[in-house]
Structure formats: structure tokens, C-alpha cells
Structure 1
Amino acid sequence: MFQFHHTKSYNLQKMADSKHPRLILHNFLSLDLCKELEFIHKSCGTVGYRPNVFSTTLSHLIATNCAHLIMPIIPIRERLREKAEEYFGCQYELFVEFTGLISWCRGASIGWHSDDNRPYLKQRDFAAVCYLNSYEADFKGGIFHFKDGEPADIVPVAGDVIMYTADDQNIHSVDEITEGERITLTLWFSRDASYDEDPKIISSLSPALSGVVDSKLCSYLPLPGSINMYWFPPDEASSFLSGFDIRCGRLHVVGFDIYPFQETCDLSASDSSYNLLELLSEPLLLARESKLFETQFLNIMHALQQMVQFYLWKFSNLKTKVEETTPQVIPTSQKQKTEIDRLKSVFLKDIQLGERFFGHSRPIKDKEYEFDWVTFSAAVPEWECYVFKLQRELLLHLPHWRTNQSIFCVPLGDLED
């Protein structure tokens, strides 16, 4: 499951300049692990902490019934903490203060600053940024610059990691994103144990998993958060009069629309916030190019995560596992097309804005991704197997985490005892 390159196979570049302590790790993550983390973010992310930024935190995954999706992240954060302690000379002193999948879209940038110049972030001692996709291939702009010392510029490459001290020794900036979506796994480390995120995460995991029964798939289905968390721009979330729902936006740019499983009520402006929340949290179907996929999804997150983003991630594997069966697809009627267009106008009020943010990455339209409904149907059981596996691992790890009040990878032999 966890795919790191062994120490001998990735290029460790240490900077000797003691005035600007920083560490570059090339090829630290495998490309498939990068794709897995990208899948998690694109299927679960919310509006982020600064303009044109989207984020997926461990706490959010737990709160939306996706706690199992923290499992691919756990060994990465543990290995990065070890690297930080080793390189910066603080063995067994660091705690993970924050872990999150972060994407910057068109218009996002940051000027020269050090990460300790905000009083409420003084607890942060070190940062680690893992790049999950690459400059030019997946986005334009977004190059990382240090004000002083070497290397002065960091060009993002999928699998590479940059670590640095969060102080005036490493003042930095990031160029504006001009196209595409720059995705990272970002961690902050602190020497102050009171900022350790592990006890808080473990505390929230316990009630979240209290009713889980292995044989019941409903225990694994994602549940959306508040509609406000997914509406961009966030200052329009109170009225929903402009902007777009980022989940519907991600579906749209890869060629999918939603259709309600049950007949919808009138989404008038006066009660739009209520109906937006209700409709996207209710069962729905997916439509594509005048076809309706008859598999029912619990909600918008289920459709986005189970099928579309998982399909995009696992497409090449799914092609080898398809069965010669007829997928449950029917032509859309004129009435259904009208309803699909109506819903699109509600959830994607600014289609051009959504396409500008998410439209650069459209692999489903590339020749490599020759879409067919049979392969798409194969994603359903594969996603279920994937989720069951992660859920089981999480349930086996949790007792050890509770006992130690720390999140770490437990050896397989200990899990099986």
C-alpha cells in the first residue's frame, strides 16, 4: 500500500549553508502514491484558507465519514518527521502540528514572507511540502522561491519534497498560478507538544468509528459537510447567486453532470440555500453525453469519490478488469436533459470560473482515457474493495493509537496478533 522509494533510490540533496537550513528530497514519493493523494483531495477537498486555494485536512476527512482515507497519508507524515528530526538535529523533539492536502488554482500566489511572522503561527518550527504534480505538465506558475541562499528556486516535480525552517532564515514566495491546479501534501512541525494534532485526531476518530461494522458498506460512504464549505467564492455562499459548487465543478470539467434520483422541488432563489444542501446530500445519478448511468449514489460526495475521481486515478488498472457485461446506461430523455441543464445552472452559475480553475486537467478527454461505460462500471466494485481495505487497516491501527496517543504505522505482525 505504502510506496516510498528506498533511501538509495531517491536523490537526497542537503544544503550546507547553515544560514538557510533547508532540505530537498527528490523522488521521495512514488508517482502512484502522488496520484492516490490527488484522488483523495479532488474527491474530498473544500474551499481553503486563502483566495483560490482548496484544502483537505485529516479532521475534515474524519468529519465527512472518510476517516479511512487518512491511512495513505500516515506513513508519509511519519517518514517526513523522521527526516526533519534527522536533518535539523532535533531527534524525538518534533510533533506534527498540521497535515493537509492543498491545491492552488489560477490566481493563487504568496509574496515574500517567513512562516513565523504571524503571531498565531509562532508554534511552527519546520515545514515540509510534498509536490503531488508537476510544473508545466499539470499547471503553470507556482514556482517556489527563497529570498536568500541556495537553491533559490524550487520547480515543483511530482514526488519531490522541500523542507525548511519556518523563520526568517527561509523567507520565501510562490509565483501566481496561471493555469491548472498545483497540488501538495503540506505538513507543519512544532517542538511544542501542546500543538500536537495527533491526540485531537485520535479523539475525533473514536466516536466516528464507534458504530462501524465491517460488513456494512454504508459505514464507508462519504457524507458531505456544509454547503458553505464547497461553494466558491466563499463570500457568495450566503446567497449562492454567483460562483459554483466545487464538487459539481470538478464533475463538469471531466464531462459529467448530476441528475436527481427523485424528482426535485423548485430551486427558487428564496430558498436556494436549503435546497442546495438538501439536493446534493440526497441520492442522485450521473449523466454523460446524453447517457444516464443508472447506479444510484448516496450523495454528491459518493458520486464524485466512488466513481469519477477513482475512475480517473485507476483507469489503466480498470481496463484490465472489465467484464463483458452490459453497463446500466440508458439514453437521457428530453425532460431529463432539461432537468440536468437546470441543475447545472443552479450549481454552476459561473461555468467559466469553474473551467478556469479545474479545466486544465481533463484526462478523461485525452486519447489515453478513451471513455467507455463498461470500464466506468468496473470502478464500483474496485472502489468498494479499496475502501474496505483502508477501513480495516484503520480499525486495526486505532487501538495502538489510543494507547500511545500518537498516530504511527504499526508493523503488520503486531496488527495480526
Structure 2
Amino acid sequence: MSAAAASPPPTAAAGEHPRFHISGLLSPETCKELEFVHRSCGTAGYRPSVVSTSLPHLAATGCGHLLLPFVPVRERLRDAVESAFSCHFDLFIEFTGLISWCKGASIGWHSDDNKPYLRQRAFTAVCYLNDHGKDYKGGILQFQDGEPSCITPVAGDAVIYTADNSNIHCVDEVIEGERLTLTLWFTRDSAYDEDPKLLSFLSQTSLNYEPVHQRPYIPLPASDLMYWFSYDHSGFDIRCARVHILGFSFHTSIDEDSKSFAPAEDDPIEFLGKPVRLGREDGVFDKVFANGLHALQVVQFYYWKAPELAAKRKQTSGGSGTACCPVIQSRGTKLPLPFNHGVEQTIFGSYKNAEIDFEWNDFGLALSMWENYSENLQRKLSTSLPYWLSNEAIFITNSFSPQVCNGGN
């Protein structure tokens, strides 16, 4: 089903507390793609134990092309909200973001317009990207009055409701794992439309990319402080944690015996802004990544595509073709990065690391697939951006393929 097509009929809501639960709004593959974006780009969030990825942040870190998967989803959600609340062609998107609630995260009773600077919010849409019970425990959305009174998250489902005090709600504490959502707020006030501001940002970053010698889809890390996740008087770097719990480690990009390498005793995290390699157990991948965020994106892309890659390997293992093995070499010193593996797993979980049938061949293929994926999105962004700028709005253009526009069925 196209993201621009009519949404599934929502579950009816009580008139005094207008809210709707929509099953299967997003396809499993769309959920996984947005999960990939979040796990490879997210920073410390606006509340304790929360990680967030906003669209302006993607544009600011050289990842403007990763806005493309959001476009059909945003249109579909706006259509659903306008249809459910009979406000056709009346809404602007105030905010779009990926938000994960980790162990310990919760929020008490509130409405989404409960601050003077939030009064412009009219409606809320929350899409769940993973499953309660399977991927995390806790984190149930509860409403103070009306039906449905609580929402048990299922990947692909969405809940939409008015942002005023007709829908006072809370989120129970997350006990284990990571609760992933795509959240949008809608407004009737065009002054709060996020599209013109986002387009201004995109035109400055995507079309004037620096450094010019790098491919335009190579990510540029934000301030190291934005990746610091505080927890129980301690903390960790989110980039390091995301890599570590999948079994990888960061290594220097230079020979182990090079005298030019000197550990940064004051702030070793600064090494993540420089070229790095990735290691796993006793092997080091023979590819220099532009920075730690670049390496993290490839690791997360591999994790997203690992089942598909393993299946392809098994299909071709009995054939005449021979897989091209990436060169593995042992040089490159492991970076002296601070980490607490126990705390990292407490917050993010283990991603069921043992279930990954890891092969360096698969990882090398994932790198090529990530480059093709990123180049394709970058071309679509370059084609779409002039149309968006002329209309001061972000929408589906002819550059979107049917695969990109697919929603839930």
C-alpha cells in the first residue's frame, strides 16, 4: 500500500477523548529502516534515559538523505490525522522525530500542549517501531480517561489523539530494553510548520557539503557531548555503546607501530571524529572509515541486513560463484575508549548478538550495499530538493520509487 494511499480504518474513539488506534500503519521493513536511522544517528534525548533523532539533526550531520524514508510516512500520518479529526488540508507538521525510551525512562500524567511554548500543538501521532514484550518491557501508554485506556505497542501500529487536556496520558517506566517510536506533532498554525525551517537547513548543508573530497552522504559527527548518555552518576558514548554491544570495536586507522599515534589521555572520545577502522575479535576490517559515526552507520546497516546477507551466502555457497572476501588485517591499535559493557547492555540490551551468524564476507557486502543505499537516497534528495524549496514543503516527488513509498499492508 502506498504511503500516500488511504490509511487503515482506525479503531473508534470516545467523543470526549478523541483518540484512534491504527493497526499495521507501517510495514515491518519500514519499521526496520527507521530503526536503522535511529540507531546509527541518535543522540542523548530531551529527558533522562531517552535517545532522539530529529530531522534537523540529520541535516546538520551530513545525513540529509536519510530524511527520504520519513517523507511517505509523514504524508500518510497527516492523511490519517486529517481524516480521523475532519480537518482536511488544515494541518502542518510541527515536529518529526525518532525517540527511544530506555531502561528507567517514564513520564507522568500530562497533555502534549501543557507548556506555554507548546500551545500550538493540536494533534499527536505515535508510531511504534518495535514490539512490547519481545524487544522491551514496560513503556505502556496509558490514558487517564476514555477508550482505549492503554496502548500495548506493536511494531507498525500507530495511535493518534488530540494534544489537549482531553487526552491526559502517561508512559509507564521502561523496565528492560529500548522502546522505539516515531513521533509527530501537528499544528494548525503555519508559523510552526517545520518544513520551511528544515528546508532552509537542508539547502545550507546538503548543497554545500564540506569537505568536498568526501562523498556527500558520509556523516559528520555532532559535538561529542551530544552522544554522551548519562546514567546513574556515570554514562557512556552512544556511538561506542551501539558498536560494542554488536561485538565490534574501534581501532586506529594507522599502523600499530606508527609513532604518530598517541592516545589522547584527556579525551579519547575525540578519536571518534577522526578516521577509524572496525575490529571484531582478532580481526580488523581493511577499510578506513571517515569517522566513528561513519563506521557506526555501516555496522547498523549490517545488523539491519544480516539475515538477508546470511541467506544469500547460504544460497550461493553451493554454486560455482565465489564470494569476494574483504581483506582482514591485524594492524591498527584498539582505541582506548572508556566504556562500561554492563551499563551499555543494561540500557540498550544485547540486540541478541548471539543470533548474528557473522561473516566478514557479509560485512564487506553490507558496506557496498550501504554505499549504494546512501547514493540512491542522495540522488533522490538532490532531485527532490528544488521542488521542495519552490513549494516550501516536503512531499513525495517523482524521484520516489514504489519501494520507498511502501507503507503497511
TM-score by length of 2: 0.89
Query: Which amino acid letter does the alignment assign opposite residue 310 of structure 1?
Result: F
Cα pair 1:283 1:297 within 8 Å, conserved: yes
Q: Decide which of 260, 275, 281 is 1:289's aligned counterpart.
A: 281
Q: Decide which of 339, 351, 364 is 1:377's aligned counterpart.
A: 364
Relative distance call for 1:235 and 1:74 in structure 2 (3 A) is farther
Q: Decide which of 302, 308, 327 is 1:311's aligned counterpart.
A: 302
1:330-349 to 2 correspondences below 5 Å:
330-331=329-330, 339-340=333-334, 343=336, 346-348=337-339
Q: Decide which of 46, 54, 59 is 1:57's aligned counterpart.
A: 54
Relative distance call for 1:3 and 1:381 in structure 2 (3 A) is farther
Query: Which amino acid letter does the alignment assign opposite residue 269 of structure 2?
Result: L
Cα pair 2:4 2:75 within 8 Å, conserved: no
Relative distance call for 1:5 and 1:89 in structure 2 (3 A) is closer
Query: Displacement of 1:15 after TM fit?
Result: 2.1
Structure 2 equivalent of residue 358 of structure 1: 348
Query: Which amino acid letter does the alignment assign opposite residue 326 of structure 2?
Result: P
Query: Displacement of 1:380 after TM fit?
Result: 1.3
Query: Displacement of 1:209 after TM fit?
Result: 2.2
Cα pair 1:65 1:221 within 8 Å, conserved: yes
Q: Distance in 2 between matches of 1:3 and 1:365?
A: 36
Query: Displacement of 1:412 after TM fit?
Result: 4.9
Q: Distance in 2 between matches of 1:64 and 1:382?
A: 21
Per the alignment, in what secondary structure is the counterpart of residue 362 of structure 2? helix
Matched, 1:326 2:292: no
Q: Decide which of 30, 47, 69 is 2:27's aligned counterpart.
A: 30
Q: Decide which of 175, 178, 188 is 2:175's aligned counterpart.
A: 178
Q: Distance in 2 between matches of 1:33 and 1:220?
A: 20
Cα pair 1:12 1:24 within 8 Å, conserved: no
Identity %: 48
Q: Distance in 2 between matches of 1:169 and 1:413?
A: 38
TM-score by length of 1: 0.88
Matched, 1:276 2:269: yes
Per the alignment, in what secondary structure is the counterpart of residue 258 of structure 1? strand
Query: Displacement of 1:266 after TM fit?
Result: 3.1
Query: Displacement of 1:331 after TM fit?
Result: 4.4
Relative distance call for 1:249 and 1:131 in structure 2 (3 A) is same
Compute the RMSD of aligned alpha carbons.
2.3
Structure 2 equivalent of residue 202 of structure 1: 199
Query: Displacement of 1:381 after TM fit?
Result: 1.0
Identify the structure with bigger relative contact order (alpha carbons < 8 Å, sequence gap 6+): 2
Query: Displacement of 1:13 after TM fit?
Result: 2.8
Relative distance call for 1:16 and 1:56 in structure 2 (3 A) is closer
Structure 1 equivalent of residue 248 of structure 2: 256
Cα pair 1:26 1:161 within 8 Å, conserved: yes
Q: Decide which of 36, 39, 50 is 2:36's aligned counterpart.
A: 39
Listed as ranges, the gaps of 5+ residues in structure 1 are: 237-241
Structure 2 equivalent of residue 76 of structure 1: 73
Listed as ranges, the gaps of 5+ residues in structure 2 are: 255-259, 314-321, 402-409
Q: Distance in 1 between matches of 2:365 and 2:35?
A: 20
Query: Displacement of 1:39 after TM fit?
Result: 0.2
Per the alignment, in what secondary structure is the counterpart of residue 12 of structure 1? coil
Structure 1 equivalent of residue 316 of structure 2: none
Q: Which has the higher helix share?
A: 1
Single out whichever of 255-264 and 281-290 deviates more from structure 2: 255-264
Query: Which amino acid letter does the alignment assign opposite residue 295 of structure 1?
Result: K
Relative distance call for 1:17 and 1:402 in structure 2 (3 A) is same
Relative distance call for 1:155 and 1:101 in structure 2 (3 A) is same
Query: Which amino acid letter does the alignment assign opposite residue 161 of structure 2?
Result: Y
Query: Displacement of 1:217 after TM fit?
Result: 5.8
The structure 1 segments of at least 4 consecutive aligned residues displaced by more than 6 Å after TM superposition are none
Q: Distance in 1 between matches of 2:400 and 2:94?
A: 29
Structure 2 equivalent of residue 407 of structure 1: 394
Cα pair 1:3 1:33 within 8 Å, conserved: no
Q: Distance in 2 between matches of 1:313 and 1:243?
A: 26
Relative distance call for 1:209 and 1:234 in structure 2 (3 A) is farther
Q: Distance in 2 between matches of 1:120 and 1:347?
A: 38
Structure 1 equivalent of residue 406 of structure 2: none
Cα pair 1:179 1:360 within 8 Å, conserved: no
- CA offsets 1:103-139 (integer angstroms, 9 cap, x no match): 0000000111111221211111100000000001111
Query: Which amino acid letter does the alignment assign opposite residue 286 of structure 2?
Result: E
Matched, 1:225 2:222: yes
Query: Displacement of 1:398 after TM fit?
Result: 0.7
Q: Decide which of 62, 75, 83 is 1:86's aligned counterpart.
A: 83
Relative distance call for 1:299 and 1:28 in structure 2 (3 A) is same
Matched, 1:135 2:132: yes
Cα pair 1:94 1:191 within 8 Å, conserved: yes
Structure 2 equivalent of residue 239 of structure 1: none
Query: Which amino acid letter does the alignment assign opposite residue 143 of structure 2?
Result: F
Matched, 1:67 2:67: no
Relative distance call for 1:84 and 1:384 in structure 2 (3 A) is same
